[in-house]
Amino acid sequence: MSKFAANLTMLFTELPFIERFAAARAAGFEAVECLFPYEWPAAELARQLRENGLTQALFNMPPGDWAAGERGMAAIPGREAEFRAQLPKVRDYALALGCTKVHAMSGLIDPAHSLAAHRQTLVENIRFAADFLAADGIKVLLEPLNSRDVPGYFLAHQRDALALVEEIDRPNVGVQLDLYHAQIMDGDLTRLIAKLGPAIGHVQIASVPDRHEPDRGEIHYPHLFEALARAGYQGWIGCEYHPSAGTREGLGWLRQWQSTSR
Protein backbone atom coordinates (compact mmCIF):
# COMPACT_ATOMS: atom_id res chain seq x y z
CA MET A 1 0.00 0.00 0.00
CA SER A 2 1.39 3.41 -1.00
CA LYS A 3 1.61 5.99 1.78
CA PHE A 4 1.63 9.66 0.76
CA ALA A 5 3.22 12.63 2.53
CA ALA A 6 2.26 16.20 1.65
CA ASN A 7 5.17 18.52 0.99
CA LEU A 8 4.07 21.58 2.95
CA THR A 9 6.55 23.86 1.21
CA MET A 10 4.75 23.35 -2.10
CA LEU A 11 1.21 22.31 -1.16
CA PHE A 12 -1.49 24.35 0.59
CA THR A 13 0.52 27.53 0.00
CA GLU A 14 -2.67 29.61 0.15
CA LEU A 15 -2.38 29.12 3.94
CA PRO A 16 0.29 30.21 6.42
CA PHE A 17 2.78 27.39 6.93
CA ILE A 18 1.56 26.46 10.41
CA GLU A 19 -2.00 26.05 9.15
CA ARG A 20 -0.95 23.64 6.39
CA PHE A 21 -0.62 20.73 8.82
CA ALA A 22 -4.34 20.69 9.58
CA ALA A 23 -5.15 21.21 5.91
CA ALA A 24 -3.01 18.23 4.92
CA ARG A 25 -4.71 16.00 7.49
CA ALA A 26 -8.17 17.16 6.38
CA ALA A 27 -7.25 16.33 2.80
CA GLY A 28 -6.38 12.75 3.72
CA PHE A 29 -2.60 12.82 4.18
CA GLU A 30 -1.10 10.96 7.12
CA ALA A 31 2.40 12.42 6.84
CA VAL A 32 4.13 15.62 5.79
CA GLU A 33 7.53 16.76 4.65
CA CYS A 34 9.04 20.18 3.96
CA LEU A 35 12.20 21.76 2.66
CA PHE A 36 13.40 23.69 5.72
CA PRO A 37 11.63 23.78 9.12
CA TYR A 38 14.07 26.12 10.87
CA GLU A 39 12.02 29.32 10.58
CA TRP A 40 9.55 27.91 13.13
CA PRO A 41 10.22 26.65 16.68
CA ALA A 42 10.56 22.89 16.75
CA ALA A 43 8.11 22.70 19.65
CA GLU A 44 5.38 24.42 17.62
CA LEU A 45 5.91 22.13 14.64
CA ALA A 46 5.84 19.11 16.93
CA ARG A 47 2.55 20.34 18.38
CA GLN A 48 1.04 20.60 14.90
CA LEU A 49 2.14 17.06 14.10
CA ARG A 50 0.75 15.72 17.36
CA GLU A 51 -2.58 17.54 17.22
CA ASN A 52 -3.19 16.50 13.62
CA GLY A 53 -1.98 12.91 13.94
CA LEU A 54 0.75 13.38 11.34
CA THR A 55 4.21 11.90 10.82
CA GLN A 56 7.12 14.10 9.73
CA ALA A 57 8.61 12.03 6.92
CA LEU A 58 11.55 14.23 5.89
CA PHE A 59 13.17 17.64 5.92
CA ASN A 60 16.36 19.13 4.49
CA MET A 61 19.52 20.19 6.23
CA PRO A 62 20.18 23.97 6.02
CA PRO A 63 21.13 24.90 2.43
CA GLY A 64 23.31 27.97 3.00
CA ASP A 65 21.99 31.24 1.60
CA TRP A 66 18.93 29.98 -0.28
CA ALA A 67 17.78 33.47 -1.30
CA ALA A 68 21.17 34.10 -2.91
CA GLY A 69 20.90 30.88 -4.91
CA GLU A 70 22.86 28.47 -2.75
CA ARG A 71 21.60 24.90 -2.78
CA GLY A 72 23.48 23.19 -0.01
CA MET A 73 27.14 22.74 0.84
CA ALA A 74 27.80 19.05 1.53
CA ALA A 75 30.02 18.72 -1.56
CA ILE A 76 31.62 22.18 -1.51
CA PRO A 77 35.33 22.22 -0.62
CA GLY A 78 36.15 24.79 2.03
CA ARG A 79 32.74 24.71 3.69
CA GLU A 80 33.20 21.55 5.72
CA ALA A 81 33.13 23.37 9.06
CA GLU A 82 29.90 25.15 8.15
CA PHE A 83 28.27 21.90 7.07
CA ARG A 84 29.27 20.10 10.24
CA ALA A 85 28.35 22.97 12.57
CA GLN A 86 24.68 22.67 11.56
CA LEU A 87 24.36 19.04 12.63
CA PRO A 88 23.33 19.67 16.26
CA LYS A 89 20.42 21.84 15.07
CA VAL A 90 19.43 19.22 12.50
CA ARG A 91 19.47 16.55 15.20
CA ASP A 92 17.44 18.69 17.60
CA TYR A 93 14.73 19.29 15.00
CA ALA A 94 14.67 15.65 13.92
CA LEU A 95 14.26 14.45 17.50
CA ALA A 96 11.60 17.04 18.31
CA LEU A 97 9.61 16.14 15.19
CA GLY A 98 10.14 12.40 15.43
CA CYS A 99 11.70 12.51 11.96
CA THR A 100 14.18 9.80 11.02
CA LYS A 101 15.28 11.04 7.56
CA VAL A 102 17.10 14.22 6.55
CA HIS A 103 18.31 15.29 3.13
CA ALA A 104 21.84 16.69 2.82
CA MET A 105 21.92 19.00 -0.20
CA SER A 106 25.15 18.64 -2.18
CA GLY A 107 25.38 22.19 -3.50
CA LEU A 108 26.33 23.89 -6.75
CA ILE A 109 29.70 23.09 -8.30
CA ASP A 110 32.40 25.59 -7.34
CA PRO A 111 34.59 26.07 -10.45
CA ALA A 112 37.56 26.84 -8.21
CA HIS A 113 37.72 23.15 -7.29
CA SER A 114 37.85 19.90 -9.26
CA LEU A 115 34.94 17.49 -9.45
CA ALA A 116 37.13 14.97 -7.65
CA ALA A 117 37.54 17.43 -4.77
CA HIS A 118 33.77 17.92 -4.61
CA ARG A 119 33.23 14.18 -4.50
CA GLN A 120 35.76 13.62 -1.75
CA THR A 121 34.28 16.48 0.27
CA LEU A 122 30.81 14.98 -0.06
CA VAL A 123 31.98 11.51 0.96
CA GLU A 124 33.78 12.82 4.05
CA ASN A 125 30.97 15.17 5.08
CA ILE A 126 28.25 12.53 4.75
CA ARG A 127 30.30 10.00 6.68
CA PHE A 128 30.71 12.58 9.44
CA ALA A 129 26.99 13.45 9.43
CA ALA A 130 25.92 9.81 9.36
CA ASP A 131 28.16 8.96 12.31
CA PHE A 132 26.92 12.02 14.22
CA LEU A 133 23.25 11.13 13.71
CA ALA A 134 23.44 7.34 13.87
CA ALA A 135 22.90 6.98 17.61
CA ASP A 136 19.55 8.76 17.27
CA GLY A 137 18.37 6.54 14.44
CA ILE A 138 18.48 9.33 11.83
CA LYS A 139 19.23 8.52 8.20
CA VAL A 140 21.07 10.89 5.84
CA LEU A 141 19.87 10.98 2.23
CA LEU A 142 21.44 12.18 -1.03
CA GLU A 143 19.09 13.44 -3.73
CA PRO A 144 20.10 14.04 -7.36
CA LEU A 145 18.49 17.18 -8.83
CA ASN A 146 17.94 17.66 -12.54
CA SER A 147 20.17 20.10 -14.41
CA ARG A 148 17.23 21.85 -16.06
CA ASP A 149 15.76 23.11 -12.78
CA VAL A 150 19.02 23.33 -10.84
CA PRO A 151 21.87 23.89 -13.32
CA GLY A 152 25.31 23.24 -11.87
CA TYR A 153 24.13 21.02 -9.02
CA PHE A 154 26.86 18.56 -8.12
CA LEU A 155 24.67 15.44 -8.02
CA ALA A 156 22.31 14.95 -10.97
CA HIS A 157 22.06 11.19 -11.66
CA GLN A 158 20.61 8.37 -9.59
CA ARG A 159 23.34 5.86 -10.33
CA ASP A 160 25.95 8.42 -9.24
CA ALA A 161 24.06 8.75 -5.95
CA LEU A 162 24.06 4.97 -5.55
CA ALA A 163 27.82 4.83 -6.18
CA LEU A 164 28.35 7.52 -3.55
CA VAL A 165 26.19 5.69 -1.01
CA GLU A 166 28.20 2.54 -1.59
CA GLU A 167 31.49 4.44 -1.19
CA ILE A 168 30.32 6.25 1.95
CA ASP A 169 29.50 2.82 3.38
CA ARG A 170 27.32 3.79 6.31
CA PRO A 171 24.11 1.87 7.14
CA ASN A 172 22.18 5.11 7.75
CA VAL A 173 22.91 6.68 4.33
CA GLY A 174 20.62 6.23 1.34
CA VAL A 175 19.30 7.67 -1.91
CA GLN A 176 16.39 10.09 -2.01
CA LEU A 177 14.65 9.06 -5.22
CA ASP A 178 12.65 11.95 -6.62
CA LEU A 179 11.06 10.38 -9.67
CA TYR A 180 10.44 13.78 -11.25
CA HIS A 181 14.18 14.52 -11.31
CA ALA A 182 14.99 10.92 -12.23
CA GLN A 183 12.72 10.89 -15.28
CA ILE A 184 14.29 14.09 -16.62
CA MET A 185 17.89 12.94 -16.10
CA ASP A 186 17.80 9.15 -16.27
CA GLY A 187 14.52 7.64 -17.51
CA ASP A 188 13.99 3.87 -17.63
CA LEU A 189 12.46 4.25 -14.19
CA THR A 190 11.29 0.68 -13.61
CA ARG A 191 14.78 -0.71 -14.08
CA LEU A 192 16.27 2.23 -12.19
CA ILE A 193 14.15 1.41 -9.15
CA ALA A 194 15.26 -2.20 -9.31
CA LYS A 195 18.89 -1.10 -9.54
CA LEU A 196 18.64 1.19 -6.52
CA GLY A 197 16.73 -1.41 -4.50
CA PRO A 198 17.42 -1.24 -0.76
CA ALA A 199 19.44 1.97 -1.15
CA ILE A 200 16.17 3.89 -1.64
CA GLY A 201 15.60 5.86 1.55
CA HIS A 202 12.75 8.13 0.47
CA VAL A 203 10.64 8.67 -2.65
CA GLN A 204 9.09 11.84 -4.08
CA ILE A 205 6.71 12.30 -7.00
CA ALA A 206 5.40 14.95 -9.40
CA SER A 207 4.32 15.04 -13.01
CA VAL A 208 6.83 15.47 -15.83
CA PRO A 209 7.49 17.82 -17.52
CA ASP A 210 5.54 20.46 -15.58
CA ARG A 211 5.91 19.34 -11.94
CA HIS A 212 2.17 19.41 -11.29
CA GLU A 213 -0.17 16.75 -9.87
CA PRO A 214 1.30 13.26 -10.32
CA ASP A 215 -1.69 11.84 -12.23
CA ARG A 216 -0.82 13.81 -15.37
CA GLY A 217 2.18 14.04 -17.66
CA GLU A 218 4.42 11.27 -18.96
CA ILE A 219 4.91 9.10 -15.84
CA HIS A 220 2.43 6.37 -14.94
CA TYR A 221 2.92 6.27 -11.19
CA PRO A 222 0.69 3.30 -10.28
CA HIS A 223 3.08 1.13 -12.29
CA LEU A 224 6.07 2.60 -10.45
CA PHE A 225 4.44 2.04 -7.07
CA GLU A 226 4.35 -1.65 -7.94
CA ALA A 227 8.03 -1.49 -8.92
CA LEU A 228 8.86 0.17 -5.61
CA ALA A 229 7.01 -2.55 -3.72
CA ARG A 230 8.98 -5.21 -5.60
CA ALA A 231 12.19 -3.39 -4.68
CA GLY A 232 11.19 -3.59 -1.01
CA TYR A 233 10.38 0.07 -0.46
CA GLN A 234 7.70 0.52 2.21
CA GLY A 235 8.25 4.15 3.24
CA TRP A 236 6.41 7.40 2.61
CA ILE A 237 6.02 8.85 -0.86
CA GLY A 238 6.48 12.60 -0.73
CA CYS A 239 4.21 14.70 -2.93
CA GLU A 240 6.54 17.51 -3.95
CA TYR A 241 4.78 19.32 -6.75
CA HIS A 242 3.28 22.68 -7.70
CA PRO A 243 -0.53 22.44 -7.85
CA SER A 244 -1.84 23.52 -11.24
CA ALA A 245 -4.96 25.24 -9.87
CA GLY A 246 -5.05 25.02 -6.07
CA THR A 247 -4.03 22.12 -3.84
CA ARG A 248 -7.47 20.89 -2.82
CA GLU A 249 -8.87 21.16 -6.33
CA GLY A 250 -6.18 18.84 -7.67
CA LEU A 251 -6.31 16.06 -5.07
CA GLY A 252 -8.57 13.66 -6.95
CA TRP A 253 -5.51 11.50 -7.61
CA LEU A 254 -4.94 11.07 -3.85
CA ARG A 255 -8.44 9.78 -3.16
CA GLN A 256 -8.30 7.46 -6.17
CA TRP A 257 -4.86 6.01 -5.44
CA GLN A 258 -5.54 5.61 -1.73
CA SER A 259 -8.74 3.66 -2.46
CA THR A 260 -7.13 1.39 -5.05
CA SER A 261 -4.05 0.64 -2.93
CA ARG A 262 -5.95 -0.65 0.08
238 forms beta bridges with 5, 204
Confidence of residue 258 (pLDDT cuts 50, 70, 90): confident
Residue 92 CB-half CA count within 13 A: 11
Catalytic-labelled residue, pool 14, 51, 143, 218: 143
Contact by Cβ (8 Å): 55, 98? yes
- How does pLDDT run across 234-244, given as a tens digit for each residue? 999 999 999 99
Is 143 noted as a catalytic residue in this protein?
A: yes
Confidence of residue 262 (pLDDT cuts 50, 70, 90): low
Query: Would the pTM count as exceeding 0.75?
Result: yes
Radius of gyration of the chain, Cα coordinates, nearest whole angstrom: 17
| Cα–Cα distance, 187 to 181 (Å, whole number) | 9
Contacts 24+ apart (CB under 8 A), 216-222: 216/244, 218/183, 219/179, 219/180, 219/183, 219/189, 221/179, 221/257, 222/257, 222/260
- How does pLDDT run across 185-229, given as a tens digit for each residue? 999 999 999 999 999 999 999 999 999 999 999 999 999 999 999
Residue 225, classed as helix, strand or coil, is helix
Give the residue among 231, 109, 126, 233 at the shortest CA–CA distance from 173: 126
Catalytic-labelled residue, pool 80, 82, 240, 249: 240
Is 44 noted as a catalytic residue in this protein?
A: no
Angle at 156 between CA 114 and CA 185, to 5 degrees: 140
Contact by Cβ (8 Å): 9, 35? yes
